[in-house]
């Protein structure tokens, strides 16, 4: 008898994690600004748009491959096309690019701290669980993909 596949065991959805960190940073930005340089709102919006576009492209690629993009669901296949040719985690990379956009728009300490915290949290709490799961689920095929494509960029 086989046990049911419950996915990689990620309990806190990554958008909630990133959104929570970004909300705290935004609050700090509004009430306790610590400017590090001039705000760059135009560049920030451009970077934010690029991050959203990367997330959208990645989600579309996952769904077209038959996978549920939620990290608490089992995967049907390893996706190696689209943005997954360049990064094993393009959705999470897109989240980080969005946070970078806010950091550029604000020009203060809180956006940059949010970027660091989001990167560390995604890397430690989400990506490591997903990689262990994919390695167990897909074995040699995933390990071959892992040697060809970098974790982030």
Quick: pLDDT tens for 106-117.
Answer: 999 999 999 999
Chain centre distance of CA 141:
22
Q: Is the pTM value of this prediction over 0.85?
A: yes
Quick: pLDDT tens for 2-19.
Answer: 555 778 888 899 999 999
DSSP class per residue in 104-128: HHH-BHHHHHHHHHHHHHIIIIIIH
> Taking 90 as the threshold, does the pLDDT of residue 92 lie above it?
yes
Can you tell me the distance from the alpha carbon of 89 to that of 130, in angstroms, rounded to the nearest whole number? 10
The residue ranking higher by pLDDT, 105 or 1, is 105
**pLDDT (0 to 100) of residue 4:** 58
Q: What is the mean pLDDT of residues 118-128?
A: 97
Quick: pLDDT tens for 36-81.
Answer: 999 999 999 999 999 999 999 999 999 999 999 988 888 999 999 9
> Taking 70 as the threshold, does the pLDDT of residue 86 lie above it?
yes
> Taking 70 as the threshold, does the pLDDT of residue 1 lie above it?
no
Asked if 115 and 48 count as a contact pair (C-beta separation under 8 A), the reply is: no
> What is the length of the chain?
153
φ/ψ (deg, to 5) at 81: -110, 175
Q: What is the mean pLDDT of residues 91-101?
A: 98
What is the share, in percent, of the chain residues with pLDDT greater than 70? 97
Instruction: For residue 20, give every residue at least 6 positions away whose Cβ sits within 8 Å of its Cβ, in sequence order, or none.
Output: none
Q: What is the mean pLDDT of residues 89-103?
A: 98
Residue 22: burial class (beta carbons within 10 Å; 0-12, 13-18, 19+): buried
Asked if 18 and 99 count as a contact pair (C-beta separation under 8 A), the reply is: yes
**pLDDT (0 to 100) of residue 142:** 97
DSSP assigned state of 87 = -
3-class secondary structure, 92: helix
φ/ψ (deg, to 5) at 91: -65, -45
């Amino acid at each position: 008898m086989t046990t049911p596949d419950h996915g990689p065991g990620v309990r806190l959805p990554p958008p909630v994690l990133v959104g929570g960190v970004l909300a705290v940073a935004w609050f700090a930005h509004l009430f306790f600004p610590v400017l590090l340089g001039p705000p760059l709102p135009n560049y920030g919006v451009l970077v934010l748009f690029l991050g959203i576009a990367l997330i959208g492209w990645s989600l579309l690629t996952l769904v077209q491959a038959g996978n549920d993009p939620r990290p608490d669901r089992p995967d049907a296949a390893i996706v190696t096309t689209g943005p997954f040719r360049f990064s094993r985690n393009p959705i999470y990379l897109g989240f980080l690019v969005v946070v970078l956009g806010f950091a550029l728009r604000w020009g203060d300490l809180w956006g940059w701290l949010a970027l660091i915290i989001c990167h560390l949290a995604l890397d430690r709490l989400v990506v490591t669980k997903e990689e262990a799961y994919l390695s167990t689920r897909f074995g040699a095929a995933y390990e071959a993909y892992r040697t060809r494509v970098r974790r982030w960029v």
